[in-house]
Structure 1
Amino acid sequence: MKMKNFIFGIAAMVIVLVASTAFAEKKIMLGYSLPLTGSHAQYGEVFRNSAKLQLDKFNKSGKLAGATVEITYEDSKSDPKEAINIARKFVDNEQIVGVLGDFTSTVSMAAGRVYGMEGMPQLSQTASHPDFTKVGNCQFRNITTQAYEGPFVAKWAEGLGFKKFAIIAIQNDWGISAAENFEKGIKDLGGEITAVEYFNPGNRDFRSILTKVARDKPEAIYLCMMYEEGAMVLQQKKQLGIKTAIFGTSSLYSPKLIELAGDSADDLLLSTTFMCDSPEPNVVEFVSAYKKNYGSEPNMFAAQAYDAVGIMLDAIAKVGPDVTRSSLRDALAQTKDYPGVTGATTFDPETREPVKGLARLKVENGSFALVN
């Protein structure tokens, strides 16, 4: 009898241990669609870097007792067709409860139509086209839209006494939206737009565009582009001897811009959601960890991704290990005052738009400086 009880006891312990191990090993999957090759690969790289930092921090935190989260990364090449294929792959994987990405608004919106139809929550760190969250009821972003940023910079510029502007923008959904919203902001304040010039993605020679817009003698030029193109515009503007003031979208904020443009970047004015040298403890922690792991300072794009992943993980933790796509979508919609490195983020529960502020920067002596 004693031997039988002993055997039953051992068997019970084994069952408990196996069950405990199975529970502890539960995996929750997220998908991340991002450009890892192609012309936008440098953005995908910093997104993945930040995602790994945030995920490692979360899994070590114990916030999700009984489970860990994994992220599977897929290379969209910043191509809408590729992103749609990835979206179908993600929605067919029943283990994936939510997705992050993509980079551009065009690609994010293309994939978003798939996610919207399938009820998959999607959170993009950088899709700032006003129509992104209108694709479906599962779309979220943690970046301000061009409908907010354009008028914000317009009001700032108008307050500095600028009335006449030319706009140079990349020819895609995001660039067109950025240009149109800034133009509206200027006109609403009684200002004038002397010219709007678009360029094709991949363009590297802006001399003819700069010469053309300078003929109308604008008081300032507004740049709607990524930092690589921005650096070239600034260099070529200096080479042409054009003295016109320059404002830009937050997409220009990167240490790489100054590295590429040199002193041509001095006096550039732009808005941003992130300051690398902010004294805020969470920013200091993030910047320090990023430098330690990747040997460089994080830019705004890295910060946006870090917060996007953090917001998604925070929503998962609130639901618990049994999170589903539906429950994760609802938890995301209830995000309030998430303490990110790009500032506190709250989602409007109806529109899913973020409530955030912007800072103003100026390049001085080769560094970004906060403007009061």
Structure 2
Amino acid sequence: MQFAERMDRFGEGIFSKLLEIKRQKEERGEIVIDLGVGAPNIPPARHITDALCEAAADPKNYVYAISDQKELLEAAAQWYERRYGVSLNPETEICSLLGSQEGLAHIALSVADEGDVVLVPDPCYPVFADGPLLAGATLFYMPQRKENGYIIDVSEIPEETAKKAKLMVISYPNNPTTVMAPDCFYEEVIAFAKKYDIIVLHDNAYSELVFDGKTCGSFLHFPGAKEVGVEFNSLSKTYGLAGARIGFCVGNEEVVSHLKMLKSNMDYGMFLPVQKAAVAAITGDQACVETTRKAYERRRDALCDGMTEIGWKMDKPEATMFVWAKIPDNFSDSTSFAMELAEKAGLLVTPGSAFGPSGEGYVRLALVQDEDVLKKAARLVDESGMLR
């Protein structure tokens, strides 16, 4: 058998290796705390699940959706106006996604040809790079350095690279570094994109998970943003709908229309009951959003305080559902540390190297367990003796 050469760009993910360790330990009856994959364990509010169940009970809703329902598009437009102060045309500037991951995996196919340059953050959520690689694009990594507050410096991008670039992917609040970007960053990105005719994709999955009284808005709120790009948003974390796979691409009409055209050749739209659940989430009672945010803030404090007390200093993130932690000084690389942490302490984390070259020396911990479990994780690490 012969397979596509593009698959040579990918290897077995670290998640598969860690899950195998988890499986083996659980078979032996050992404790495993999984903070590796960012899979939320906070369920949707009742009014959202009621809308989903009611629609799922209707036999008429099992036809192909084909396209987004008018009700969904209008609800998304109202949501962006209310929450972010951004006006959108429901018919031309909004496209649903079967989760942000699906959109991130496919959008480069509508923008970049084989060999075109795509600018991606480093470190970054893996599909930011994997999507362009599937399209045959050449990646240029934009470093997110600690000394620069993990904010990309567009002035460091060589002019020849900028001239060749077709797409630029950015995301703040950032996964995995957990930081927010200042207003001046977005202004610089918009000016940069206009100068070099680059499409900007801003992933805004964590705008509601911002802590310590801070707030976060939308890339599209900045003047000129809609002229150069789009924003992806997700209901996975904010509303506990991760498994339902609901996301949106909003903004520039040309970018949205090309993505819609691509998707029309790839899928038959979002399951109608899921569309009903999405409408209920973004138009219904928003008290659940604050409840979820507070839960993640408490989890952040429990994990960071617990680990710092035992000698593994963790800076508290200002946003997202993750902690980006420097590995202890007695370890040389993030993968070996993560593997040993899994074996000796039963704690699964993601090595920073999985997020790109600049992620080395760090691990990402997902706040996907309750506070008592996160406190227990600190005890297990302490008892393992790995920090001594």
Instruction: Report TM bin, short chain.
Output: 0.3 to 0.5
TM-score (norm 1): 0.33
TM-score by length of 2: 0.32
Higher normalized strand content (fraction of residues)? 1
Q: Which structure is higher in RCO with an 8 Å CA cutoff and minimum separation 6? A: 2
